[in-house]
Structure 1
């Protein structure tokens, strides 16, 4: 059993401490998207407050959501493929730091190891996610995201629709997801309020 990668808290804290004062703090309203060029200038973003998601541009699949302070943009700074886009799920506060300032700070404060740890964490997080859902049957994929959603704070679950949460992250059909969650609710493995909110998981079977 492969465990999810551990967040590099110390490296993240050092980077946030050094880089945040170099940027411009901006408020992003809920559901607004954020490109990698802030005001036409390539930037790294320090996420400070709120709930932020990152999605693939090609198919819109949501690949990750964060609520803790985080940093995005190192990959885009070194290799600007620009295949992902950020989206605020709630009101967010972000510090946008121009790439050249980030590079200068990395040299001045010897932050290369910290940057490498963050990039490694992002890479291994994506690998772990793919192991859970790529080439897997629909049932275990839905159960994986039910468990993930169930670990979120109660106030988040109150506003997050179960069907939308799973569909955004997998691309599975609406009917296949609904069939599974309806069956799990009937068998009392899960429960939720009308409309598919406030998920509660009591234990999930290995097989349907």
Structure 2
């Protein structure tokens, strides 16, 4: 199993540099689209507090994570044509700035190493998701998804419905998810 530790020290350096130039936002206790690649595709979003979900087209759930988080860090270098949405799952604060400005600030402040660590971590998260889901039967996918939820805090676990989360993440039918969950009890 891959070990994945969020690079908080590197996030702190990036945040310290970028936050001076960002436009702040805050969402209170509501699901709200924070970032949509078709609207904000040329912005970098930094989430400072809260829980967010990342979804791909057709509402496919890529994952749920807790702040801190950066979305669109590399968008100033390479255009991304795959539609993504970042959605707040409750209270959420952060800021955004143009992706080209993000790249300029990273260059000026020699933060490429920190940006690389952050992007490598994101890549590892997606790799871990692939390892858990691709080429596995329904039982194994559901089990892997449940195990990934162990790291969530209690508040997050109680707010996100387990069956709904598994269905959206794996695209396994609700009836099969319910059957496997019942067998695991």
TM-score (norm 2): 0.89
Q: How many residues of Structure 1 are paired with residues of Structure 2 in the alignment?
A: 182
Distance 2:105 2:65 in 1: 24
Cα deviation for residue 123 of structure 1 reads 1.2
Query: 153-162 vs 131-140, which deviates more?
Result: 153-162
Cα deviation for residue 137 of structure 1 reads 1.0
Q: Does the Cα contact within 8 Å between 1:28 and 1:91 map onto a contact in 2?
A: yes
Deviations 1:95-135 (A, max 9, x none): 11112321221121001111111111111211111011101
Query: 172-181 vs 110-119, which deviates more?
Result: 110-119
Higher relative contact order (CA 8 A, sep 6+): 2
Distance 2:31 2:48 in 1: 17
Cα deviation for residue 36 of structure 1 reads 4.0
Tell me what 1:188 maps to: none
Tell me what 1:65 maps to: 64
Q: Which has the higher helix share?
A: 2
Q: Does the Cα contact within 8 Å between 1:4 and 1:125 map onto a contact in 2?
A: no
Deviations 1:51-70 (A, max 9, x none): 1111112x322112221312
Q: Does the Cα contact within 8 Å between 2:52 and 2:67 map onto a contact in 1?
A: no
Query: 77-86 vs 126-135, which deviates more?
Result: 77-86
Tell me what 1:141 maps to: 141
Residues 1:76 and 1:101: Cα distance change in structure 2 (over 3 Å): closer
Cα deviation for residue 37 of structure 1 reads 7.0
Deviations 1:71-106 (A, max 9, x none): 110233322224221111112112111123212211
Aligned Cα root-mean-square deviation (Å) = 1.9
Tell me what 1:35 maps to: 36
2:42 is paired with a residue whose SS is strand
- Structure 1 gaps of 5+ residues are 186-208
Q: Does the Cα contact within 8 Å between 1:28 and 1:94 map onto a contact in 2?
A: no
Residues 1:125 and 1:41: Cα distance change in structure 2 (over 3 Å): closer
TM-score (norm 1): 0.80
Correspondences of 1:1-208 after superposition (within 5 Å):
2-29=1-28, 30-33=30-33, 34-36=35-37, 42-57=42-57, 59-83=58-82, 84-185=84-185
1:107 is paired with a residue whose SS is helix
Cα deviation for residue 181 of structure 1 reads 0.5
Residues 1:31 and 1:67: Cα distance change in structure 2 (over 3 Å): same
Residues 1:41 and 1:80: Cα distance change in structure 2 (over 3 Å): closer
Distance 1:157 1:100 in 2: 36
